[in-house]
Structure 1
């Protein structure tokens, strides 16, 4: 008896098969009733009701663009960051290798190009097999149906919509089938396969075949070989459970299933399948790097993201703009120069260490455009305070998503200097600047012309003292000189000029702490600022009075490389060019012999200018320096890991305890080390000389007039901005009447408008007087500094 029954399925299994066939017939009846023959009832009242419900479904499913990652590019086109919710890069089917297409069709839906939206044969086979096994053993959904499911899931906006897209019900299957039929009617098989390959999740955070190829094998979808394609084709069944970075053995086994299936279908030979099955998966991982933390310039990236999130043309709300950045597949072209960024970061890292109770920041900006070339700070991006990490961007102002900043010290003197020159105060104006002086508030006029107040306060000098003019008072950063100069300019113009030049002064009378900012001590830099603000402001000077808003982005492209938006430079002339040229002439003295920058050894080969800044509390030190083509603002400020300001004295800075600090000696070298690397890539331009006929008291070099006629010499000197007088003739080998000398001498400096005396030759060579008996030495020619040069 047992021999007769051997090999027969148990009666229970037969019953299950029969029941399954009835159920499948019922489902197919619904399909026919609800989709192929509307309103036709084939299996009774229940089926008719289900068919009616099917007819109420939309006949088409709107296919919204797939979410794609956004790339942020440097000015040279290199990628500095990627942003995404779904790491996806769409590619057309022609850019997917043939063997990859063969592999996915073989394992997922081998009759894809023969059947319609529903593979009846495959569905019945899978349904019967799964019912008999009591679980999911085979998949019966066609590639088109899978694509529909993934589309519904990807476009779900609410938790309810996501659950509906994943629920294991007949209703969901029928809904997907209705949409699948519409897709098959409206689109080609190749279109459906292309969308499926782009929408599918391949595990480990990658979506779509191109991102998967890059992530797992560091190649492109068009270059995938059979070994690689069989791995990826196997992942779509269970991308989490078969993730080769977590479960390599399972992924390998699944890869072999794909190869066997391709051999079974004669897509490849058995021999080739067996040969490849002897090899490992062959992963060559390219890590996923989503967000600014993984950027080559993290805080510049953070600045770009916040800049774009504030642009209303990219969406009605900040959330909408962020969604566009994370899913729109944009290409954001920025102003960052990777060479400058590297030089800036290396310099900052050498001068301030991440774990120290201080932060170093350096911002580089191009005058005339506002293009931000680099942003670097000593504290890396991250959340581990023990390692000095932070998400606070200390290089940009809070209005741009950054920090409140730190007091800028004497760098603010440049605003008073520019206002004074603009008001016609001569550069050779001399002011007595004692070491300590008491100032009266009533001597400072506010914007309404009224005295600021009626109190008094003392200000000391920390450098030199004595009689100073605008050149020496600035070069030596003399506090009492600038406090007196601000009495002459008034408070209003320097304050308003600073705002026009890019300093985020919150209000005329109230700062972030409710403290006034338009105050007599404004020139000493009592306001909090950031490196980018100072770089933007100072760029107005080499920009010859043209102020340009900081610009990190030049344009945005969509997935088809069409321009979404161009970001033109935003510039405004806020100073006469002659005034800006004069400021450059004064500030370059800081970098020339005798200036603080030169003494600190931070001057560049190219002509440069700059200004130091040190706060009285020594909580921060600054150096803002520039060439004709690039401005850099360097800051070192004491701060705990919550950003609370503190003194830098007695703290470890760059691995050494700091016992004294200055703008030139502490912050200056951080600027200088970066600029000395960068200047090789800058044009060899000099500052425009200020015009003597527009700037009073300009310190100018006297040109040589030796050998010229009196008329020609007079013309040359007057053209240079000097008054001319003609002195008496002096001995010279030159022909009589030609200029033999001047006072002051050629090559010396004096103020524009000063008188230069020229001395014509008498035509007779100089003869030294005869020596008197008994010595006495050689005498002069008695011509007051004339004679041959």
Structure 2
């Protein structure tokens, strides 16, 4: 090499040049005596020193899975949202057009398939040129070296690691060279090129060739033509400087350079290059939405991601789960039905406007499976006026709200407890207005309610003086239900509500329980009432069916989690009573969807929230309208403008009910025609069988005992228990529960590990004011 190349350079620059050359020689195991040895004194080290220091570097580069975008799909496989930190979809080399491969190799490393990890001639030429120009004028890194740099940067978790991956030091370059050699040793050229094309950033948020092809041209990587491939091939050198959406002139100049280079290398003819250069960029930009805010089902998407975040099978920590969900290239198949979602959202939005001082919400769930079919709320997701990021439709564990007081919708739990206790549907109870009830006459699970005060609730509806269970429920008579609750006790309705999915601590064992004073979410109320529709089978809400990885392999299936919590004849009787709410004379008569349906209205203290929870045999829904200010705090609905009209009074049937009714009238057209099972015309007393104690028995023995009583038995799996491994730990429903012949009993088998003691009662919501009874319900 001519010594004149150093003319005019300061001694430090000369030393720098020679240091790089010496380092390169050492890494490659080549000692070029004419270059390195004569200048060893100037540089202060020898080739042996460099070689030893290089030997200390790691010899392999761990290539982790590249971040890829995740797709959330509805029940039919349609994508409803994409989640990603980097918009990338990996594709094999065979699914990348040959023209694209030729373009990237021509411009970035035309001897890629001939040289090793380092193209020595090109690297030295680039080093001298760039040093002389005091900047980056010419690239000299091979594709393998570029892949190493991109990999180190992509896998950097901290600012320090990111800084180290991009530092303009010879130490970094030496490390990259060593890694490049290791990559070439352990992987084929095709593997390296494929990985490079999937790793590279192409600007405008597109990572990897597939995402870039889809973003800029709305095609797949396998279909890229010469005009498109030459543009993308030129972007990797400086993705933002040549960004065709922001700097089209510079992008065209760079594209034409690629085309000219391809012609020089005889990859294409000069005529092809000239013809393509005469064309426009040919962009057909398609943005890839990111996150739930861009979804057609924003708050369902939000619920799915938060629900999955709680699954320890997806990672030991929340951070690991989040990384998998947003970077794992997953396909998440959900239970969402977009027809139901559009019907629900349309109804909610038409009855409560996004800028109103109230919130409208609706949750739909399928009885017997727990499949969440739709979630809709009036305030869309976002930061603009009338928008919010708070999810009010789901429990606080997965959302942002403690919920709203459900009012008289809780009366259904007292009704079910009464029927379960053999109280005939025709039995009457006094309905004074107001009533006067000593609080210590109510029984909790721990004995009489501890208060000497007298509670005096009023009725907000009219009825006969002594209605039976049909009339008292249809007209939602407060004092009738208080008297009914005195008879059933608070404990059984409270336990039943918990078994049906309502998260209630012991503090809610209070006389006003029947009037609904504990905060709940629409989804929880829909799931609870779905239990009645499913003849007493409660299924936990399930938004996800399965998750598959980027290769299509199923990582996990989410089976339904269902338990018989109420005897089917009892549930059938509840259904028969609640049908009266939508029958002529019931508060929900106008909401009847044209199919057999049942439901219950609810209005709360100070009209802060109104509800309608209703169901057909195959779909349950809970609608609420709640006074909520912009800070998310509850307020009275009175005097608020809601849906274009001022509310001077509100009720479950007239304010929340139309949301439910309009939704179900649309959905009814594709719901199967099914009818509720009518209860026996005889008293259900004597038709129920008590579940015996089978704990400590072998599974086969316990199953035989229960099947002998006419029950259907299923295995619920292993649980922690002090019983010997293999013996039954407990059943659900438990000992003493009463079921009908054919109802299901789930047996849980001991794994031999004693259960860890748990804390008390569980989480409760915020209670409303209500004085002595602990809350007031307005009845309907």
Q: TM (normalized to structure 1)?
A: 0.83
Shift of 1:312: 1.3
Q: Distance in 1 between matches of 2:17 and 2:398?
A: 61
- Alignment of structure 1 residues 409-424 onto 2, 5 Å: 409-424=407-422
Aligned to 1:724: none
Tell whether 2:29 aligns with 1:31: no
Give the direction of change, closer, same or farther, for the CA distance of 1:25–1:114 in structure 2 (3 Å limit): farther
Match of 1:549 among 537, 540, 549: 540
- Alignment of structure 1 residues 222-301 onto 2, 5 Å: 222-301=222-301
Q: Matched residue of 2:448: which SS? A: coil
Aligned to 1:349: 349
Q: TM (normalized to structure 2)?
A: 0.84
Q: Distance in 1 between matches of 2:549 and 2:31?
A: 42
Shift of 1:460: 1.2
Q: Distance in 2 between matches of 1:22 and 1:442?
A: 94
Equivalenced residue count is 678
Name which of structure 1's ranges 573-582 and 319-328 shifts more when overlaid on structure 2: 319-328
Retained in 2: the 8 A contact 1:42–1:48?
no
Q: Distance in 2 between matches of 1:156 and 1:664?
A: 57
Q: Distance in 2 between matches of 1:262 and 1:450?
A: 90
- Alignment of structure 1 residues 364-383 onto 2, 5 Å: 364-383=364-383
Name which of structure 1's ranges 300-309 and 263-272 shifts more when overlaid on structure 2: 263-272
Aligned to 1:706: none
Tell whether 2:440 aligns with 1:405: no
Match of 2:610 among 621, 636, 661: 621
Aligned to 2:522: 531
Retained in 2: the 8 A contact 1:371–1:550?
yes
Shift of 1:30: 3.1
Retained in 2: the 8 A contact 1:293–1:382?
yes
Q: Matched residue of 1:399: which SS? A: coil
Retained in 2: the 8 A contact 1:444–1:487?
yes
Shift of 1:217: 1.2
Tell whether 2:489 aligns with 1:490: yes
Tell whether 2:567 aligns with 1:569: no
- Alignment of structure 1 residues 422-433 onto 2, 5 Å: 422-433=420-431
Retained in 2: the 8 A contact 1:39–1:52?
no
Q: Distance in 1 between matches of 2:382 and 2:666?
A: 28
Q: Distance in 2 between matches of 1:135 and 1:407?
A: 67
Q: Distance in 1 between matches of 2:15 and 2:494?
A: 87
- Alignment of structure 1 residues 427-442 onto 2, 5 Å: 427-442=425-440
Aligned to 1:640: 629
Aligned to 2:583: 592
Deviations 1:622-667, CA, capped at 9 Å, x for gaps: 0001100000100000110111111112111101111221111111
Q: Distance in 2 between matches of 1:390 and 1:211?
A: 30
Aligned to 1:85: 85
Deviations 1:566-614, CA, capped at 9 Å, x for gaps: 111111111001100110011111111221111xx21011111110111
Shift of 1:34: 3.6
Q: Matched residue of 1:636: which SS? A: strand
Retained in 2: the 8 A contact 1:435–1:464?
no
Q: Distance in 2 between matches of 1:523 and 1:655?
A: 33
Shift of 1:108: 0.6
Shift of 1:457: 1.6
Give the direction of change, closer, same or farther, for the CA distance of 1:221–1:21 in structure 2 (3 Å limit): farther
Tell whether 2:570 aligns with 1:579: yes
Name which of structure 1's ranges 239-248 and 190-199 shifts more when overlaid on structure 2: 239-248
Retained in 1: the 8 A contact 2:441–2:448?
no
Retained in 2: the 8 A contact 1:418–1:580?
yes
Retained in 2: the 8 A contact 1:68–1:86?
yes
Give the direction of change, closer, same or farther, for the CA distance of 1:585–1:252 in structure 2 (3 Å limit): same
Retained in 2: the 8 A contact 1:59–1:178?
yes
Aligned to 1:460: 458
Q: Distance in 2 between matches of 1:38 and 1:314?
A: 51
Aligned to 1:670: 659
Q: Distance in 2 between matches of 1:421 and 1:692?
A: 14
Shift of 1:541: 0.2
Retained in 2: the 8 A contact 1:367–1:630?
yes
Shift of 1:11: 7.7
Q: Matched residue of 1:538: which SS? A: helix
Give the direction of change, closer, same or farther, for the CA distance of 1:125–1:605 in structure 2 (3 Å limit): same
Retained in 2: the 8 A contact 1:452–1:519?
no
Retained in 2: the 8 A contact 1:433–1:481?
yes
Shift of 1:46: 3.1
Retained in 2: the 8 A contact 1:20–1:127?
no
Shift of 1:545: 0.5
Deviations 1:687-725, CA, capped at 9 Å, x for gaps: 112234562699xxxxxxxxxxxxxxxxxxxxxxxxxxx
Aligned to 1:518: 509
Q: Distance in 2 between matches of 1:367 and 1:84?
A: 33
Q: Distance in 2 between matches of 1:20 and 1:203?
A: 34
Q: Matched residue of 1:191: which SS? A: helix
Q: Distance in 1 between matches of 2:213 and 2:467?
A: 69
Aligned to 1:141: 141
Shift of 1:35: 3.8
Aligned to 1:98: 98
Name which of structure 1's ranges 479-488 and 448-457 shifts more when overlaid on structure 2: 448-457
Shift of 1:17: 12
Shift of 1:21: 9.2
Q: Matched residue of 1:393: which SS? A: coil
Aligned to 2:119: 119
Aligned to 2:641: 652
Aligned to 2:338: 338
Give the direction of change, closer, same or farther, for the CA distance of 1:408–1:19 in structure 2 (3 Å limit): closer
Shift of 1:47: 2.7
- Alignment of structure 1 residues 675-694 onto 2, 5 Å: 675-693=664-682
Retained in 2: the 8 A contact 1:367–1:543?
yes
Aligned to 1:718: none
Deviations 1:150-170, CA, capped at 9 Å, x for gaps: 011111122221111111122
Structure 1, unmatched stretches of 5+, are: 1-8, 510-516, 699-789
Shift of 1:36: 2.5
Aligned to 2:729: none
Q: Distance in 2 between matches of 1:290 and 1:47?
A: 51
Deviations 1:293-339, CA, capped at 9 Å, x for gaps: 11111111111111111111111221221111121111111111111
Structure 2, unmatched stretches of 5+, are: 688-780
Tell whether 2:193 aligns with 1:193: yes
Give the direction of change, closer, same or farther, for the CA distance of 1:417–1:280 in structure 2 (3 Å limit): same
Q: Distance in 2 between matches of 1:30 and 1:434?
A: 97
Tell whether 2:468 aligns with 1:469: yes
Give the direction of change, closer, same or farther, for the CA distance of 1:354–1:336 in structure 2 (3 Å limit): same
Q: Matched residue of 1:283: which SS? A: coil
Tell whether 2:479 aligns with 1:480: yes
Retained in 1: the 8 A contact 2:206–2:215?
yes
Q: Distance in 2 between matches of 1:52 and 1:76?
A: 60
- Alignment of structure 1 residues 499-514 onto 2, 5 Å: 499-505=498-504, 507-509=505-507
Deviations 1:486-512, CA, capped at 9 Å, x for gaps: 01000101111111111111x112xxx
Q: Distance in 2 between matches of 1:694 and 1:17?
A: 106
Deviations 1:40-74, CA, capped at 9 Å, x for gaps: 99634433212111011122111111111111111
Q: CA RMSD in A?
A: 2.3
Q: Matched residue of 2:555: which SS? A: strand
Q: Distance in 2 between matches of 1:619 and 1:72?
A: 35
